[in-house]
Structure 1
């Protein structure tokens, strides 16, 4: 990879909300912008596409300033080498698949014949050559997504923007389309930014994750590093971990006034402790032998989670525990039930909260 093809600092003020996100994406790289609803992901995508001007900062693509308020630089949407696949695809309902894909090249100056030739090539590449004369209402969700992708790529964009590209699909179509999309993104020579709230899409499609909360980057890195060391509750929930911050000294981390956990890693200073819900054991009374990591808790809620039940345990810390339905019945787990929670030190992972 060379880089960065995209060099941006996206600063957008919208009332009381302020987006301030630095973003660099290399040629051939796929970066996922991941975050909860209201984090600023869509605002960032619209700013890159030229649909929302920056308040400050810059968008530089392949060495050209597309938006830099301090210098009065602004390139309108239609002149940017940017392709966009919107969440709902936004195909033109009155145009065929062929003419939908040909629309971009036509807007970039190609004559009708050349634009249609390009469109045919792209429909063939996404496996829809035989659907060229169908209109959007005659296409399945997966087919519409591929037409939208072909339309975005037909302008040979330096930057491809994907806004929740799989969100509108059912589970089976989504899995199939995700695999196909991965192949197309791997072949795209430009920079790609995928905006999503789905961790599976992000981990399957992206080379690097940028996590945004409240308009700010809270964590970034490859999938393995982000999932191994989450730094916020949102990221921890995303990857299915309990996460607690505390003060560490050696193999002890104080996570609440009346609870210190013994951990497998030696850390000093501010630290995070993470462990899986499956690592939390639930007992009707204080466990015999009293392992050091035990504490009294109250069942706050019980929900089905795959083949298990996920139990929220309130106490000095709030944790999630996964138990079998049989164990839940035996323990009579219901909201308000008082129990004891335990987690083995070997099941924990502790790491510095800074750096």
Structure 2
């Protein structure tokens, strides 16, 4: 059992209710965050967006300037009243990016470390820790020290250590970042299974969209210390609202003013769309929807622009062309098509996108 935090405040039992405001020189985090018991929320955003600041504030490692933090109906922090529950007294488990396992302790004693801090004897801590190692499939490595474990095994020991104290809030800071690509695939699947079985709140911090999409029930996208979009992974991927999100999910995104089946961009370029929209609107389409030509096409597509190739790169089994001009965009084509068009940086091309392949929605 964890040491109970001080009583006070109100909130939904089994839920996270937080308003995290942290002011630092040149940067302010101002984020409202709520989650139900059993929910996995991913904080996603570019470097410097405030993800790690939010995680440290939730953990109690960074005091709030204003706002509040409530968990299971208990107020853990309220700057207005001077309440700040120390990190070691919060019912919180943390899996750090580099795991921070104690090199001189066995895997079993690493898992039992938090239990020892909560007053268990060494024998009691080991007895409680062993089932967690077994759950992670690591009982055969109970006596191994971290230096003898693979990256994936170390990650699972760190997760077992965080779960062994039965936290009501589990924080995961880039939990897969230290793994190579092959190990990451396997561990991501295992982590998703363990999180699905976790009955309290889990908050995952990541800049990797695949980790967020696979592991989380809900995404909260942060830029410059504030939320810019939230929703299920499918909602965020389908209807991005910033260039950062659009790039993550592989879409071309534009914002303008809609009038019927067209959206006028700030520079006057008009995009034809399948959906009718009115007022401020976004238009999105995938790079695969773009067709390239060396001369102006005789096409039924209503969106046709003359652009210039700015760069070429491999993107999976496709060639991704970055194009500049009236409507800067990314286009995907096969290597054979790229060779046939004789594309290279500086090459002028015509690009077309059918209105039926665009998606328009209110801004």
What band does the TM-score fall into relative to the shorter chain? over 0.9
Q: What is the distance in 1 between the residues matched to 2:66 and 2:115?
A: 31
2:41 equivalent to 1:31? yes
The normalised TM-score by structure 1 is 0.97
Q: What is the distance in 2 between the residues matched to 1:36 and 1:136?
A: 31
Q: Which secondary structure state, in structure 1, belongs to the residue aligned with residue 227 of structure 2?
A: strand
- How many Å apart are 1:257 and its aligned residue? 2.9
2:114 equivalent to 1:126? no
Q: What is the distance in 1 between the residues matched to 2:167 and 2:14?
A: 15
Aligned residues between the structures: 352
Q: Is the 8 A contact 1:65 1:74 kept in 2?
A: no
2:275 equivalent to 1:262? no
Q: What is the distance in 2 between the residues matched to 1:264 and 1:294?
A: 15
2:263 equivalent to 1:240? no
- How many Å apart are 1:214 and its aligned residue? 0.7
Q: What is the distance in 2 between the residues matched to 1:302 and 1:256?
A: 27
Q: Deviations over 1:161-219 (max 9, x none)?
A: 00011111111211111111111111111100011111111111111110001100000
Structure 2 gap segments, 5+ residues each: 1-11
Q: Is the 8 A contact 2:66 2:79 kept in 1?
A: yes
Counterpart of 2:199?
Answer: 189
Q: What is the distance in 1 between the residues matched to 2:161 and 2:218?
A: 25
2:343 equivalent to 1:333? yes
Q: Deviations over 1:222-241 (max 9, x none)?
A: 11111110000011111110
Counterpart of 1:74?
Answer: 84
Structure 1 residues 140, 293: closer, same or farther in 2, change over 3 A?
Answer: same
Q: What is the distance in 2 between the residues matched to 1:82 and 1:257?
A: 50
- Spell out structure 1 runs of 4+ moving beyond 4 A: none
Q: Is the 8 A contact 2:13 2:72 kept in 1?
A: no
| 47, 52, 61: which one aligns with 1:51 | 61
Q: Which secondary structure state, in structure 2, belongs to the residue aligned with residue 202 of structure 1?
A: helix
RMSD between aligned residues: 1.2
2:65 equivalent to 1:16? no
- The farther-off stretch of 23-32 and 256-265 is 256-265
Q: Is the 8 A contact 1:256 1:316 kept in 2?
A: no
Q: Deviations over 1:47-79 (max 9, x none)?
A: 111111111111111112212111100111111
2:292 equivalent to 1:282? yes
- The farther-off stretch of 58-67 and 153-162 is 58-67
Q: What is the distance in 2 between the residues matched to 1:108 and 1:212?
A: 34
Counterpart of 1:143?
Answer: 153
Q: What is the distance in 1 between the residues matched to 2:317 and 2:186?
A: 24
Structure 1 gap segments, 5+ residues each: none
Q: Is the 8 A contact 2:13 2:71 kept in 1?
A: no
Counterpart of 2:126?
Answer: 116
